[in-house]
Amino acid sequence: MARILVCDPISPDAVAEIRAAGHEVVEKPGMTPDELVATIPGFDAMVVRSATKVTRPVLEKAAGTLKLVVRGGVGMDNIDAEAAKEFGVKVMNTPGASSVAVAELAMAQMLACCRFISRADRTCKDGKWEKKAFSKGIELWHSTLGLVGFGRIAREVAKRALAFEMNVVFYDPFVTDAGSLDARKVDLDTLCREADFISLHIPMSPETRHIISKKQFDMMKEGVVLVNCARGGTVDEVALGEALKSGKVFAAGTDVFEKEPPEDLSLVSCENLIATPHIGAGTAGATSRVGGEVSKILIEYFK
């Protein structure tokens, strides 16, 4: 029997399945970093999603008992992989479970940006009828979508963009071609110059920090739409705010921020920014699939 600490919520069915396999499951979502350090000793495995940070102090405190960290989701930049390796802790994730949910949010952000959905809804609820003010939207049809990163989620976005009859280009130094998808590989500068819509699908790392900044915004078309449902910090928020205010960026949709929740609301308060609170994987279907993959990983590992 293994002792498993669930630090971020997963589906009740997954918890029940893990318990049915004979393991002890302790659910303690919402712990502070200090509470996590105090709680982790004695557990064989821990389950996290995006909220909990598995830092060196956590792994150091768990040394000797902790064998496995399961990240319910795709990116693993909230886990100190180097420290995990040092302390002999295996790290696994569920890369396929939430891809569709995040991809659909990216498409929703694009549509909301180009048709003023949030602002038009708000004014209608205020009793106004500002049809003329919102009659200058733009279309996805026959426009060019640039995908920064071309992993699982980006490929799901590409499939949907192609159904909208968009032209798709992508930048990814680790991918050689698009496989069966009708998408063209380009360098980042070319993507910035050609794309009408740009959507990020990359992890946060020293190499990707502020990969979209003032230099890239200066290259972009006037009136570009930018979407980030990947990781905060990949876009320079100061540069984005300036580009939104100048009109260089027609609108932006962002589900992620450098600091979550953001303390500086200057970017969030931009009228042409649609902000959502890191809900990319927040669907019932994705939660169920993530839970199912998490329970499968844990049960197989400790069998």
Q: Which residues are catalytic?
A: 231, 260, 278
Residue 218, sorted as left (phi over 0), alpha (psi -120 to 50) or beta, turns out to be alpha
Chain-centre distance of CA 177, in angstroms?
23
Taking alpha carbons only, the member of 5, 23, 17 closest to residue 89 is 5
Residue 214, sorted as left (phi over 0), alpha (psi -120 to 50) or beta, turns out to be alpha
Taking alpha carbons only, the member of 128, 127, 163 closest to residue 145 is 163
Q: Are residues 164 and 158 in contact, defined by beta-carbon separation less than 8 angstroms? A: no
- Residue 290 CA to residue 14 CA, distance in Å, equals 9
Chain-centre distance of CA 169, in angstroms?
20
The alpha carbon dihedral of 241, 242, 243, 244 has a sign of: positive
Chain-centre distance of CA 275, in angstroms?
13
